[in-house]
Amino acid sequence: MPSLSEAYDRGEWTGRDPRRVSAGGSLFVVGALAVVAAILVLTTGLAAVFDATTTTETRRVAGVLAGLGIPAMFLGVVAVLPASRRERLGVLVGAALNVGGVALFHHAYPSQWVEASESLAFPTAMVYFVGGSVALWFVLSAVASFKLRNNPQGTVRLEVTRQGETEEIRVSRSQYRRYKRAVQGDDEHSEAVAEELRALHED
């Protein structure tokens, strides 16, 4: 798989709005920082920054931070990658369910949590789980599509040098075998194959 700089150079990110890419990267970083902050709130004195003075308040703050940070990272990924409209919409729907789950958690914790007679713990967990699953599915779909575009199955990458200029082209495996035989002089139509290869290079 090519590096990010190589992908830009080869035009695989052609048409991508740099502002969207920057916004997506920033959103991913913010989400990751929110998750880290949630951990620090529970394990250090960072809870005081959020005016959380009790264990209950500390857990609520940590839950909200982590709960919002994860969908933010999902949204950041599909904003950076050249995802399809369906993939972006899928992640957006999943993230919206995540936010709904966080809102339920903020409302229910602790008075309507696990030990309450009218507990909202299970519905909250299910809403967040479904949202996270939907978002993750479409994120993985976007990543897989991006990798497939960068490295199509069943193709061979060739570097063709002519008159001091080198160009990279992709051909099928059957074409590659024909070209290889032509170069070695083992193909009865080697000259025609060589002309075809030169034509591909010129295109």
Reported as a single tens digit per residue, the pLDDT across 57-73 is: 999 999 999 999 999 99
Q: Which residue, chain included where needed, has tokens 């920057």?
A: 22
Q: Indicate yes or no: pTM above 0.85.
A: no
Decide if pLDDT at 156 tops 80. no
Give residue 155's pLDDT.
63
Decide if pLDDT at 136 tops 90. yes
Q: For residue 146, which of 193, 87, 74 has the smallest C-alpha distance? A: 87
Give residue 51's pLDDT.
86
Decide if pLDDT at 83 tops 90. no
Residue 180 vs residue 141, higher pLDDT: 141
b/e code 58-73 from CB counts within 10 Å (16+ = b): bbbbbbbbbbbbbbbb
- Confidence band for 75, pLDDT divided at 50, 70 and 90: very high
- Confidence band for 146, pLDDT divided at 50, 70 and 90: confident
Instruction: Please report, for the chain, the start and end positions of each structural domain, with discontinuous segments joined by +.
Output: 4-150, 155-202
In angstroms, the CA 124 to CA 104 distance is: 6
Give residue 118's pLDDT.
85
In angstroms, the CA 2 to CA 93 distance is: 31
DSSP string, 22-35: HHHHHHHHHHHHHH
In this structure, are residues 146 and 81 in contact, taking their beta carbons and an 8 Å threshold?
A: yes
| Mean pLDDT to the nearest integer, 75-96 | 90
Contacts of 45 (CB under 8 A, 6+ apart): none
Residue-averaged pLDDT of the chain: 79
Q: What is the pLDDT of residues 2-28, one digit of tens each?
A: 444 444 444 445 556 788 888 999 999
Tokens in use for 41? 């709130």
Residue 184 vs residue 42, higher pLDDT: 42
Decide if pLDDT at 139 tops 50. yes
Give residue 110's pLDDT.
87
Give residue 3's pLDDT.
44
- Confidence band for 33, pLDDT divided at 50, 70 and 90: very high
